Every structure is written in structure tokens, then in C-alpha cells.
Amino acid sequence: MTASLIIIAVTVFRFYRFLTVTINDISDWDLIFRKQVFTRLDSLMYGVVGAYFAYYYKSNWLKYKRSLFLIGFVILVFPKFISFNNFGTIYLCVFSFSINAIGTLFLIPYLSDFKKTKNAFIHKIVTYISLISYSMYLINLSIVKKWILNNVQIEDINSYLLIIIKYFLYWFLTIILSILIYKYFEIPTTKLREKIN
């Protein structure tokens, strides 16, 4: 009940902001909507709603896992094919955050029941990505995208090819640097914390 009220309150607040604030470009949208904690709090609450259903209605949670996974995948991928020239649209300012959270929520029933024995290799990859995910979050935008890739300039190369090279370089650097941070900082720090405790 509380999670539902927070979802409604945050959505109404974003709508109020949409009506009262002028969004001129992506920087305005980023600062006023995406980077504000309160305007994103509903995303967390969708996770709380999912945890509630997974705990109290586990059979139904898993019964429709494949259908929900497919719907969630479509919800997450479809907006990527739409070009938004104006960041002041009601979709981007009010509903896009909810849509992303709902799409992610719909993936969870299937992923939570993913069998280790049947898909050992995929399970290992997903588990390891989960372990390094915090490091990935810390470095993907600030260090890899803005600091490293924005300084990559290759002369005499097709612009589309450069985009493809930067895309794969982005993922390669993000994963490699995250593994290094996880291995040489996170694990030693965690062990140190356990020793102190």
C-alpha cells in the first residue's frame, strides 16, 4: 500500500513539474527529472511491489514468468527505436521512468527462477556481472564515456564505423575496469571490513 502511494505521489509530482517547468534541452531534463532523488523514487518502489508479489504470491509470480519476460523486454527495447528530439515531452518527463521500472520488474520473475544447473555458463556470466555491477555503475558514464571515449578520435574512418568501434570499446573498457576495481578494491575492502568486525 505504501509503495503504491509513493509511486502515485512521485508520478503526480513529475507531472506537476512537467506542467510548471520549462525544459529546453537534455541538460534541463537531466537536472530536473533524471538526477533528482524524489523524481526517481518510484523506480525503487516498483522493486518493493515485485518483492511483495514474489513473497506472497510466488506461484503466480513464476506462473507467467516467460510472458512477463517477453513483455518486459519489449517495454525496455521499443523506446530505443523512437527518436526524441525534444526532451520536454510528457513521455520523457513523466512516464519514461515508470516504463523502464515496469519493464525491468517484468524481467525479474524469469530471471529469479533461472536454473543454475541447466545454464551453468550463462549463470556464471550473470553472477559475475552482478558482482561487478556496482563498479560498472561508478565508471561507465564518468570515466569510460566522458573521459576516455570522448577523447578517442580516429582520422579517416567512416563515422558509422567509429560509432560501432566506440560502442564495443565502451563495453570492453567498462567490464575490464570494473573487474579490476572489484578484484583490487572491493574484495580487499570487504575483507578488511570483516576483519574489523
What is the distance between the alpha carbons of residues 125 and 142, in angstroms, rounded to a whole number? 24
pLDDT at 150: 77
Strand positions, DSSP E, the chain: none
Mean pLDDT, the chain cut into blocks of 10 residues (197 residues total): 92 95 89 90 93 92 93 91 79 92 94 73 84 88 80 72 84 92 92 80
pLDDT at 155: 67
Is there a contact between 186 and 165 (Cβ–Cβ < 8 Å)? no
What is the distance between the alpha carbons of residues 68 and 32, in angstroms, rounded to a whole number? 31
What is the distance between the alpha carbons of residues 51 and 63, in angstroms, rounded to a whole number? 15
Is there a contact between 129 and 137 (Cβ–Cβ < 8 Å)? no
pLDDT at 97: 93
pLDDT at 105: 96
What is the distance between the alpha carbons of residues 185 and 130, in angstroms, rounded to a whole number? 16
pLDDT at 120: 78
Whether the predicted model's global pTM rises above the 0.75 cut: no
Helix (H), strand (E) counts: the chain: 10, 0
pLDDT at 54: 92
% of the chain beyond a pLDDT of 90: 48
Q: Which residues contact 161 (CB under 8 A, 6 or more apart)?
A: none
Dihedrals φ, ψ of 61, to 5°? -55, -40
Tell me what the pLDDT averaged over the chain comes to.
87
pLDDT at 140: 78
